Amino acid sequence: MYIAGLTVLGDSAATLICDGELIAAAEEERFSRKKHHAGFPRNALQFCLDHAGIGIADVEHIGLYWKPWVLRHKALQAAKAYFVNRDMFKARVDRGVTQVSDSYLGMLKLPGRIREWYGPSNFKFHYLDHHLCHAASAFLVSGFDSAAILTMDGTGEDTTTLFSVGKGTEIRPYRRIKLPHSLGQFYSAVTSFLGFDMFAGDEWKVMGLAGYGKPTYYEFFSKQVLTLHGKTDFQFHIDILDHHLAKHYQFPPAIVAALGPPRKPETEITQRDMDIACSAQRVLEDTVLSLVHGLQEETGEENLCLAGGVAFNSVMNGRIMNESRFKRYFVQPAAGDGGCSLGAAFQIWHGVLGNPRKFQMEHGYWGPSFTNDECHAALKDAGLAYEFLPDEELLPRLAQMLADGAIIGWFQGRMEFGPRALGDRSFLADPRRKDMLDLLNKKVKLREWFRPLAPSMLEETAESVFGVPRYDPFMITVFHVAEGTKERMPAVVHVDGTARPQTVRKDINPRYYGLLKEFEKLSGVGVLLNTSFNIQEPIVCRPQDAINTFKNANFDALVLENNLVLRSAVDGTRSAGSPEQEVSRG
């Protein structure tokens, strides 16, 4: 039995499962080349069907991650805003009218439109609770027989935070926090105050910038903006900082009086901005830690599953894993709304149809793959000279190039599901180079200087890097590194002495593991700097995308499966990571 899951607002995505096994999953942005694509995931769903070799007539159930008729609470919140701030009221009404007319009515028409676009089918269409889909996306693929589940985001229907318990195939929600009290909207509003773009997902920038600051404004944020009420409840005070006003770069007088004027985009980042980021990040962490502690006390569970956009906050996740009383944790790689497509499909299979569980998500490689012949054709069409090398020749050669300072665009296997590059669509470099962080951020990725870069490492290497065993195949937690690690691999350790690892197993990604082993032979460290293969765009999906990025960017080599393209062979020049620059050997 084939079941499809869909998300259709921001970060639209499609997932396909068959008899309870995940077959394919991808975000629409990778095909449309529009970041955080909003709208129906036509290309992503078509990929899923093509990958399975089926048509829409073979799909028996389709699940959507939203109940578009749940509007009463939002309407009441908009009405209440009238008595707080007229601009706040207008911002909510404008947003609500757009959502109802463009998005929610469109959701109600989806079953018919899918049949128009893909052909006749007798599928049954399910409208599912948004946060239940988040919860299902984590628990039902976690491998845990039972777990406490916490989902946190901006909002789904009217809920922003859901406390649940999962047992077997059942997820039992038992407490909801509703608008306007939202951890995701709090962090997005801070993102806008700091001059970043919440619509572009710039919350990452706040988390990275926080490492350079001090919690100077902690008391203000914790007592006036985001306040705890007991262990498992909080309030977001929109009269001080409002998400909807922040979308329009408008901020109430109270926050301007406390913090000073908001930073204007593209202006210099000051120590004050770093301190604001640090303070907001710390308050978020402490608030969520309180929720987690309360959740554990209420449920008595030993396992914790996290999902929702807030679960992408890897610094927060690291603290949860270090400081909470849970023994095991699971955060799947597409924890945000895109992952709700996964949750919708599994919620139908298990929660609606009552089928037993058998699938466990151990990796994030669920997107398209391309053969060497397809890569050859793309390279020939682009007019690029290349070498075809078997792995036994290619991997040692790449390891030597990396050790000599090259930056490599590495494209292999199935594209990752979620925002992290996990060694199939990645830029790779030597983590021992002191200057590599600046080289990649400024000359290749064209992004801010304060953005950290992450390490991929052999799973067996993690204990020497962090001082204790760590396992994270999805690069979604941040931990403090062991003494001496920063000196050995400075490019992947943040200013605060932390790193966000991806641990690589041979049985999961043997080719990437093999490259790490070859680099370890040369360097003595089984670690590579790994950042997503994209430049101000979605992560590359097809060979043509990788080729376009290679042509328009400044890095040394492109690998498409077993095909190697050298910058020097293309234009006779060296790129950003020329080997004469300084290397820290540790």
Give per-residue pLDDT as tens, 348-396. 999 999 999 999 999 999 999 999 999 999 999 999 999 999 999 999 9
Residue 10 pLDDT grade (very low, low, confident, very high; cuts 50, 70, 90): confident
Q: 483 and 566: one domain?
A: yes
- Dig out the tokens for 15 from the structure: 């997932």
- Domain end: 352, 383, 403, which one? 352
Read off the pLDDT of residues 48-104 as tens digits, 9 standing for 90 and up: 999 999 999 999 999 999 999 986 555 565 556 545 665 665 555 555 445 554 688
Read off the pLDDT of residues 402-421 as tens digits, 9 standing for 90 and up: 999 999 999 999 999 999 99
Q: Are 397 and 581 in contact (CB under 8 A)?
A: no
Residue 156 pLDDT > 90: yes
Residue 581 pLDDT grade (very low, low, confident, very high; cuts 50, 70, 90): very low
Q: 500 and 554: one domain?
A: yes
Residue 149 lies inside a defined structural domain of this protein? no
How buried is residue 73: exposed, middle or buried, by Cβ count under 10 Å (0-12/13-18/19+)?
middle
Amino acid, res. 250: Q
Amino acid, res. 18: C
Q: 20 and 34: one domain?
A: yes
Q: 314 and 339: one domain?
A: no
Residue 365 lies inside a defined structural domain of this protein? no
- What was the pLDDT predicted at 103? 82
User: Which pTM value belongs to this model?
Assistant: 0.93
Q: Which domain holds residue 69?
A: 2-141+334-352
Give the β-pairing of 303-307 and 328-331. Answer: parallel
Q: 274 and 343: one domain?
A: no
Whole-number mean pLDDT of the chain?
A: 93
Q: 491 and 525: one domain?
A: yes
**Average pLDDT rounded to a whole number, residues 130-145:** 98
**Average pLDDT rounded to a whole number, residues 569-574:** 64
Q: 34 and 121: one domain?
A: yes
Whichever domain contains 102, its CATH number is 3.30.420.40
- What was the pLDDT predicted at 575? 54
Q: 387 and 501: one domain?
A: yes
Residue 556 lies inside a defined structural domain of this protein? yes
Number of helical (H) and strand (E) elements in the chain, helices listed first: 23, 22
**Average pLDDT rounded to a whole number, residues 112-137:** 98
Rounded to a whole number, what is the largest CA-CA distance in the chain?
Answer: 70
Cα–Cα distance for residue pair 78/73, rounded to 1 Å: 9
For the chain, the domain total comes to 3
Q: Are 256 and 262 in contact (CB under 8 A)?
A: yes
Q: 301 and 341: one domain?
A: no
Q: 107 and 194: one domain?
A: no
Read off the pLDDT of residues 522-569 as tens digits, 9 standing for 90 and up: 999 999 999 999 999 999 999 999 999 999 999 999 999 999 999 987
Which helix (H) or strand (E) segment holds residue 205: the answer is helix 203-210
Residue 161 lies inside a defined structural domain of this protein? no
Amino acid, res. 478: V
Q: 326 and 447: one domain?
A: no
Q: Are 66 and 130 in contact (CB under 8 A)?
A: yes
Q: Are 127 and 68 in contact (CB under 8 A)?
A: yes
Residue 583 lies inside a defined structural domain of this protein? no
- Dig out the tokens for 231 from the structure: 């262990």
Cα–Cα distance for residue pair 401/381, rounded to 1 Å: 26
Q: How many CA atoms lie within 13 A of 235 on its CB side?
A: 9
Q: Which residues contact 383 (CB under 8 A, 6 or more apart)?
A: none
Which helix (H) or strand (E) segment holds residue 323: the answer is helix 314-323
Weakest-pLDDT range from 323-332, 469-478, 566-575:
566-575
Alpha helices by DSSP H, 331-474: 340-346, 372-382, 391-403, 436-438, 462-466
Residue 547 lies inside a defined structural domain of this protein? yes
- What was the pLDDT predicted at 443? 86
Amino acid, res. 106: G
Residue 303 lies inside a defined structural domain of this protein? yes
- Domain end: 282, 302, 331, which one? 331
Q: 417 and 511: one domain?
A: yes
Read off the pLDDT of residues 26-43 as tens digits, 9 standing for 90 and up: 999 999 999 999 999 999
Give the β-pairing of 527-532 and 557-560. Answer: unpaired
Cα–Cα distance for residue pair 333/327, rounded to 1 Å: 20
Cα–Cα distance for residue pair 51/24, rounded to 1 Å: 7
Q: Are 572 and 473 in contact (CB under 8 A)?
A: no
- Domain end: 323, 352, 381, which one? 352
Residue 307 pLDDT > 60: yes
Whichever domain contains 423, its CATH number is 3.90.870.20
Residue 361 lies inside a defined structural domain of this protein? no
